Amino acid sequence: MGAVKLIINSDISTDYSKDNEKLLKNFGIPFKISNDKLFFISMNEVEFSTSDINGNDFIIDMLSDIPKFYLGGTFSNFNDNVKKALLQVFGEIQLSVNLINSSDGESDWLNLQLNNDLTIEYSLESDEEGYENEDEEEDLQDEYEVAELVSTAEISSEKNTTVTDIDGNSYNLVEIDTQLWISKNLNISKYRNGDEIPQVQDAAEWAVLTTGAWCYYENKEENGITYGKLYNWFAVNDPRGLAPEGFHIPSDEEWNCLTEYLGGENVAGGKMKEKGKVHWAEPNKKANNTTGFTGLPGGYCNYEGTFWCLGEIGRWWSSSDDETEGMSISLNSDNGIALVYYFDKTSGFSVRCLKD
């Protein structure tokens, strides 16, 4: 087999500091400084051949070889010290690499994540249905000539960019295009002015509400630790303010800006969903979380006060509505779609906030 070229071309940035600059220099990690930001420059061409990867299956062995060089560098040591340096400066790093088939132009995705525990996760996913087993991956061994990085997420570490709500809950922030989102579901029990938001656990009472309320999925507090609270639309749009100071609940237009930036509703969902099966049920198709949005399947409470689809569906309110229903966006384990739809305002959905 001839050499195969992997082209990595992207920037990841964080707030500038002398200590971070020194750390990157010590380990030879390429960077630049612009507008009080440190940019990790990952512009590199790496050539693989059968002798480089020591195996017969190009795709699988390419994946297993990735941890041996740091992103944007050369075939130097991707050791624990380099991983720690990258994590200290940039937080968790997530990348998606588009594998371009030189014969027919079709593409697949290589997803790579450097985690806080220094582990590296990677997976291969088809633009169509994904790979169900290794045999399908082996069939691709001679098809790929070029792999090009086409998207990346700027994921800020907690020490650099967080917001705290009135209850003292802290949320990391993630920048996606020009928008700054909280990267987990809201878990607040008070409006911005300090007034309590009622917790309603009775299904019959929930179904007839016309004022703000919240609940945990199946009224179990432990679900709130992972998935946050479920709010009806009336809480979302209460004039006392549900979002932390300086933030707001996204409008229909702002959700649409996000999905359009990600390539449209049909593909945006995969880029917004948390990867893997820790929280999402099978099959969690298309999930690569390249945005850092880390959408979780918190399920929902319907207009009758009945709970549905924990692990399978995540739904988030918009501030927009028509006369009887509120607009929401939905992610599903079965596909990579970000579905925009209107639901009864008494429904209980998750909430994300956007910086003003």
Would you give per-residue pLDDT tens digits along the chain (356 residues)?
333 344 444 556 788 888 888 888 777 676 778 778 887 665 444 443 333 333 333 333 344 443 333 343 333 345 677 778 778 887 777 665 555 444 444 555 666 677 777 776 666 666 544 333 333 333 333 333 333 333 333 333 333 378 899 999 989 888 888 899 999 999 999 999 999 999 999 999 999 999 999 999 999 999 999 999 999 999 999 999 999 999 999 999 999 999 999 989 999 999 999 988 889 999 999 998 888 899 999 999 999 999 999 999 999 999 999 878 999 999 999 999 999 989 999 999 999 999 99
Lookup: tokens for 210:
């016309």
Lookup: tokens for 117:
């525990």
The pair phi, psi for residue 257, each rounded to 5°, is: -60, -40
In this predicted structure, what is the pLDDT of residue 86?
77
Provide the 8-state DSSP code for 76: S
In this predicted structure, what is the pLDDT of residue 242?
96
In this predicted structure, what is the pLDDT of residue 270?
92
Q: Among residues 178, 105, 117, which one has the least CA distance to residue 144?
A: 105
Provide the 8-state DSSP code for 348: B
In this predicted structure, what is the pLDDT of residue 81?
75
Confirm whether pTM is higher than 0.75: no
264 within 8 A of 245, measured Cβ to Cβ: no
In this predicted structure, what is the pLDDT of residue 214?
98
In this predicted structure, what is the pLDDT of residue 122?
62
In this predicted structure, what is the pLDDT of residue 24?
80
Cα distance between residue 96 and residue 105, in whole Å: 18
Question: What CA dihedral angle connects 171, 173, 174 and 175, to 10 degrees?
Answer: 160
Q: Among residues 272, 269, 248, 253, which one has the least CA distance to residue 183?
A: 272
Instruction: State pLDDT tens for residues 269-322.
Output: 999 999 888 899 999 999 988 888 999 999 999 999 999 999 999 999 999 998
Cα distance between residue 286 and residue 289, in whole Å: 9
Query: What's the one-letter identity of residue 194?
Result: G
Q: What Cα–Cα distance (Å) separates residue 12 from each residue in 19, 91, 147, 151, 261?
A: 17, 10, 19, 11, 18
Instruction: Find the helix packing angle between 80-90 and 18-26, rounded to 10°.
Output: 160
63 within 8 A of 122, measured Cβ to Cβ: yes
Give residue 77's region: left, alpha or beta (phi > 0; psi -120 to 50): beta
In this predicted structure, what is the pLDDT of residue 136?
37
Q: What Cα–Cα distance (Å) separates residue 107 from each residue in 10, 111, 238, 261?
A: 19, 13, 45, 19
Cα distance between residue 111 and residue 288, in whole Å: 6
Q: Among residues 305, 309, 306, 304, which one has the least CA distance to residue 296?
A: 309
Instruction: State pLDDT tens for residues 30-58.
Output: 677 877 888 766 544 444 333 333 333 33
In this predicted structure, what is the pLDDT of residue 233?
97
Q: What Cα–Cα distance (Å) separates residue 115 from each residue in 29, 77, 170, 273?
A: 18, 17, 20, 16
In this predicted structure, what is the pLDDT of residue 49?
38
